[in-house]
Amino acid sequence: MYGKCGSMDDAFTVFDKMPQRNLTSWDTMITWLAKNGLGEDAIELFTQFKKAGLKPDGQMFIGIFSACSVLGDIAEGMLHFESMSKDYGVVPSMEHYVGVVDMMGSAGYLDEAMEFIENMPVEPSVDVWETLMNLSRVYGHMDLGDRCAELVEVMDPSRLNEQSKAGLVPVKASNLSSKKEEKKLATENLLAVRSRVHEYRAGDKSHPEADKIYAQLRGLKEQMKEAGYVAETRFVLHDIDQEGKEEALLAHSERLAVAYGLMSSPARAQMRIIKNLRVCGDCHNALKIISKLVGRELIIRDAKRFHHFKDGLCSCRDYW
């Protein structure tokens, strides 16, 4: 529960006080440390687990590959992959192969991921090719992405939607969204303030305090520019002028949520925001700068992972 809320300090407190721990306890801690961007802590906990003379199972290695992905350390990840069968007798499943491809691809090692797939002792599943397809497109390797898409279409055409057929990374709603919410086209954010949940959409002006929210954002924008922020307008796909693109970025839903949170929550308090799509690159840079300017930790869960923004840095180390 604490892991899903992004509160790993509380999770550690419960874990430390457990009179007895089973394999699931360790698995859960390692997995959620990785999902919260705390890759080094996940690896350190795995080291403690082994020092205690305990034997890891296959599920634990999925969490370890995720932790190495966060750190961008594929060398250590591959050492763990080799150790899995060699030292612990865990036969790699297709889920492990997908985890390794995701680890390599997330860190930008796409050629290495392709070489790994070609050397797999079993036939790669559609999940393997779909993972490499999406990561190739994230990094702009369109040729490789298209080659993977061709294989995905042969193996399971239902995996490709209009976005993926057009060479885009498909947008998937968070597993927190209901079926009704998944049909909405606008991006949304949920911000909990004083036990109330507030919902925001990009460009939304329906909030009763919309004028104050946008004034807060414009004030922050000037401070951000002084701190080195430059708007990345390539994330705006509308055919409008430069000024219009900057204004569109300003109104992204996560920024509306943060602005209202700054206005309505105690100074220095943490903010928790849930986003149903992946955070865009410009918002990611903006939120890092905002966290430093306001001296707060911003915990944002997007469709893929947690981002803990604090002191101008993000826990994902810009791998997301």
Percent helix / strand / coil, the chain, rounded to 5: 55, 10, 35
C-alpha 97/C-alpha 131 separation (Å) is: 11
Token reading at 225: 């520019």
> What pLDDT, on a 0 to 100 scale, did the predictor assign at position 239?
57
Return the CATH number at 116: 1.25.40.10
Choose one of 171, 204, 234: the last residue of a domain.
171
C-alpha 305/C-alpha 11 separation (Å) is: 17
Choose one of 171, 202, 235: the last residue of a domain.
171
Token reading at 133: 């397809």
187 shares a domain with 228: yes
C-alpha 71/C-alpha 210 separation (Å) is: 39
133 shares a domain with 35: yes
C-alpha 300/C-alpha 287 separation (Å) is: 10
pLDDT tens digits, the chain, 320 residues: what are they? 999 888 899 999 999 999 999 999 999 999 999 988 889 999 999 999 999 999 999 999 999 999 998 888 999 999 999 999 999 999 999 999 999 999 999 888 999 999 999 999 999 999 999 999 999 988 888 899 999 999 999 999 998 877 777 676 665 543 333 334 444 444 556 565 555 666 777 777 777 788 888 888 888 888 888 888 887 776 665 556 667 677 777 778 888 888 888 888 888 888 888 888 888 888 898 999 999 999 999 998 887 788 999 999 988 877 66
116 shares a domain with 19: yes
65 shares a domain with 111: yes
Domain that holds residue 186: 179-314
45 shares a domain with 163: yes
* Residue 280 DSSP label: P
Task: Assign 26 to helix, strand or coil.
Answer: helix
Q: Is residue 259 part of a domain?
A: yes
Q: What is the CA radius of gyration of the chain?
A: 21
What's the total number of domains in the chain? Answer: 2
C-alpha 120/C-alpha 141 separation (Å) is: 22
Considering only CA atoms, which of 277, 278, 275, 299 is closest in space to residue 287? 299
Count H helices and E strands in the chain, helices first. Answer: 15, 6
Task: Assign 132 to helix, strand or coil.
Answer: helix
| Contact (Cβ atoms closer than 8 angstroms) between residue 300 and residue 275 | yes
pLDDT in tens, 233-284: 766 655 566 676 777 777 788 888 888 888 888 888 888 888 888 888 888 9
Please give the C-alpha separations between residue 47 and each of 90, 174, 301, in angstroms, as whole numbers. 17, 32, 27
Q: Is residue 320 part of a domain?
A: no
